[in-house]
Structure 1
Amino acid sequence: MLAPFLIMLREGLEAALIVGIIAGYLRQTGRRDQLPAVWVGIFLAAAMALFTGAALQMVSAGFPQKAQELFEAVVGIAAVVVLVAMVFWMRRAAKSIRRELHAGIDQALAAEGGRAAGWALIGMVFFAVAREGLESVFFLLAIFQQSRDAAAPLGALAGIAVSAGIGWAIYRGGLRLNLARFFRWTGVVILFVAAGLLAGALKALHEAGLWNGLQGVVYDLGRVLPESGAVGTVLSGLLGYREAPTLGEVLVYAAFLAVTLILFLRPAAPVAAARPVAREG
């Protein structure tokens, strides 16, 4: 339950921040008449994400067993790629996202007038929120397929609800949140979740008959710390814990974390100051 909650809290907060920045800027610049376009973009993006998730789930349900395992592996790998891209993008873009959104709004509303400006704003909100929604679809499909936690859907809904509340409080100015620190530490936890998903995808490839190497069991803690237990479920959701992992799963898990954590936690490169241009004459 905790992994879906954390992922949807972060994804939902990213979407809420984008929408809040757009809506707040419209309010501050006297463009309240454009706010309905923001809601239209949100609803269209949410509908597309729900439709995509339902369609993928329905299609995969008709697959034979090995094809289902292959589908689970593909979804897991796709979720890992998107998770990594998400945390590194937010690490890089967090400082400039407000300025870029403001510039995009001014450009969208200045380029066109009247109804066309409304459509431009709808498109801007739609693509921003739809990206978060489609990312969430892959995350939740991968987690639901690999997790034994029956409360995982409730965790995802709770994450969305909490992120919406935080986003509204930020928009109204009643909550100050250190976003850089929030995204940094949730990014670390999400990289652990991604490592577990990648190890699970390798296991699915084995069950699909496409990977048969490194299948020796490294250790078996099934009697001491089973995945189905309360503590095992938490560790499985947050850290990708497996009670009896194979050598391949351990190597993939460790190598992924070794690379991504070093790159993610290293200090950002300082921005070089622009040199003044010498004038001739």
Structure 2
Amino acid sequence: MLAPFLIMLREGLEAALIVGIIAGYLRRTGRAAWLPAVWIGVFLAIAAALFAGAALQLASASFPQKAQELFEGVIGLVAVAVLVWMVFWMRRAARSMKSTLHASVEAAVGGGAWALIGMVFLAVAREGLESIFFLLAVLQQSRDAMAPLGAALGVAVSAGIGWGIYAGALRLDLARFFRWTGVFILFVAAGLLAGSLKALHEAGVWNGLQARVYDISHILPETSPLGTVLAGVLGYRDAPTLGEVVVYAAFLTVMLVLFLRPDAAAAPRRHSVRDLT
């Protein structure tokens, strides 16, 4: 439950920041009449993400067993790639997000309402499609029955935070928030990567490094309450193969070093919500 909650909280907050920046800029520049176009773009983006998720889920349900395992492995790999891209992109792009979106709004307004709808749709749909891949990967690999509830709560909390940001009633240290949620998401991504390797083995695509490193399923099984939490948050496996351990450790070591190293360009200034909205 915790992993889907934090992933959707972060994704939802990114989308809320984008919408808040656009709506706030239109309001401050005396163009509040354009706001309905913003909300249309948001709703269309949400609908597109839900449609894409439902289509992928329905398509996979008709696959034979090995094809389903292959699908799970591929979705997991895509989710890992997008998760990594997301945390590093936000680390870099937060500094210029406001100016970039303002320029995009000016260009879109010059093209009319449909141009603004399209601009908002593309910006929000990217976050929505990222979320769909994360949720599909997490739900396919998770044994936590509360995972969908965690995802829904994450969306709800991010929507509340987004409204507080837009109304000017809430401050948030974005640099710290995205830094520490980024670290957490890299742990989730490492677990997804190891789970994808397992799925590819079950699909018959990967058969190397299958020796068991340890087996503590009799002490802390993945199906136990604590095992379920650890599996969802840290990618815990009660009987991992050598390949899963190597992939998990190598990925996490490299990504954490790259992500936590000092960013000289960002050092002079920390960003709060008001800096971006």
Normalising by the smaller structure, the TM-score range is over 0.9
Deviations 1:176-195 (CA, angstroms, capped at 9, x unpaired): 00011100000000000000
Report the AA paired with residue 106 of structure 1. Answer: E
Pick one of 171, 175, 184 that aligns with 1:180. 175
Query: Which residue number in structure 1 is paired with residue 223 of structure 2?
Result: 228
1:105 Cα deviation from its structure 2 partner = 1.0
Deviations 1:16-60 (A, max 9, x none): 000011011111111110000011001110111001000000010
Partner of 1:241: 236
What is the aligned partner in structure 1 of residue 209 from structure 2?
Answer: 214
Distance between the aligned counterparts of 2:121 and 2:14, measured in 1? 14
**Are positions 1:255 and 2:250 aligned together?**
yes
Structure 2 runs not aligned, ≥5 long: 267-277
Q: Deviations over 1:181-216 (max 9, x none)?
A: 100000000000000000000000110011111111
Partner of residue 137, structure 1: 132
Matches within 5 A, 1:1-40: 1-40=1-40
> For the residues of structure 2 that align with 1:240 and 1:119, how far apart are their CA atoms?
43
Percent identity for Structure 1 against Structure 2: 75
Please give the per-residue CA displacement for 1:39-83, whole angstroms capped at 9, x wherever unaligned. 100111011100100000001001000000000000000000000
Whole-angstrom distance in 1 between the partners of 2:80 and 2:65: 23
The one-letter code matched in structure 2 to 1:224 is I
Q: Which residue of 1 aligns with 2:143?
A: 148
Aligned to 1:84: 84
Shift of 1:223: 2.0
Equivalents in 1 of 2:12, 2:83: separation in Å?
14
**Post-superposition offset of 1:107:** 2.1
Q: Which segments of structure 1 move beyond 6 Å, counting only runs of 4 or more?
A: none
| SS of equivalent to 2:175 | helix
Number of residue equivalences: 266
Q: Provide the rounded CA distance (Å) in 1 between the counterparts of 2:148 and 2:79.
A: 17
Amino acid at match of 1:60: S
Deviation at 1:221, TM superposition (A): 1.7
Helix, strand or coil for the counterpart of 1:209?
coil
CA–CA distance in 2 between the matches of 1:32 and 1:41? Answer: 15
CA RMSD of aligned residues (A): 1.0
SS of match in other structure, 1:91: helix
1:120 aligns with 2:115: yes
Residue 143 of structure 1 and its aligned partner are, at CA, apart by 0.7
1:197 aligns with 2:192: yes
Return the offset for 1:269.
3.2
Letter of the 1:70 counterpart? L
Pick one of 153, 165, 178 that aligns with 1:170.
165
Q: SS state of the match for residue 176, structure 2?
A: helix
Structure 1 residue 162 displacement after superposition: 0.2
TM-score under structure 2 normalisation? 0.94
Larger radius of gyration: 1
Structure 1 residue 270: deviation in Å? 3.6
**What is the TM-score with the length of structure 1 in the denominator?**
0.93
- AA paired with 1:265? L
**What secondary structure, in the 3-state scheme, does the structure 2 residue paired with 1:226 have?**
coil
The residue aligned with 2:75 is 75
- Give the secondary-structure state (helix, strand or coil) at the position aligned to 1:124: helix
- Residues 84-125 of structure 1: CA distance to partner in whole angstroms, max 9, x if unpaired? 00000000011110111112112222x33xxxx211111111
